[in-house]
Amino acid sequence: MLTKRIIPCLDIKNGRTVKGVNFVDLRDAGDPVELAKIYSNEGADELVFLDISATEERRKTLVNLVREVASTINIPFTVGGGISSVADVEVLLQNGADKVSINSSAIKNPQLINDLANKFGSQCVVVAIDAKQIDGQWIVHLMGGKVPTELNLFDWAVEVAERGAGEILFTSMDNDGTKNGFANAALAKLSTLVNIPIIASGGAGNMQHFVDSFIEGKADAALAASVFHFKEIEIKTLKRELRNNNIAVRL
């Protein structure tokens, strides 16, 4: 049985970890290198680093910071933000990333998914999808959730998988930062449509929410930020709770 993964997320802006609600009202959450070290030691299965303003500011990911974080951890490390080419990915992999996460660039140039999968292997390519419900439809957004597209979440997820993505990181913008739980109905539907792992993101507020994301949402991994950054949930305690609910995790 494949174990479920717990993934802390470092949203980076101006070199600091930040966290907001519904993608806005950001507040400082600490030094990314220190947080990365803590999570690696606490038993996180992976770490995600998202340079959240890189695309909007039309610049590349903070490579020096990526290298510094990578040197302090011994778990798989995914990096996203400002990635738009094979060359961008080569630089990040050379500086310690194990996987890359692409979002806006994949929407603007879907062939990039194919190119990265062909060059580096599907296991290296995570496609992040930010979506919110508009008139009952899950609509994909880009530029850090600022710009709605005409893409439907489920149609886009199927295309992403067909193009060679190894995982999908789905963030519900409606749930993000609310601590009201993950978007489990959408997660469950995604898991039936594609045969690649789905990472749940947006809405974690307590340990039961993680349990629900795996049981109701059928997610393969659950990602969270503020509940870990502000010590509301400790990863070791969370994993014991998941085990108590018959969810396979690595302790």
- Catalytically active residues are 11, 130
Q: What angle do CA 136, 139, 145 make, to 5 degrees?
A: 130
Instruction: Give the chain's length.
Output: 251
Residue among 153, 170, 176, 145 nearest 222 (CA): 170
Q: How far apart, in whole angstroms, are the C-alpha atoms of residue 217 and residue 249?
A: 16
**SS3 per-residue string spanning 174-206:** CCCCCCCCCCHHHHHHHHHHCCCCEEEECCCCC
The Cβ-side half-sphere exposure at 74, using a 13 Å CA radius, reads 3
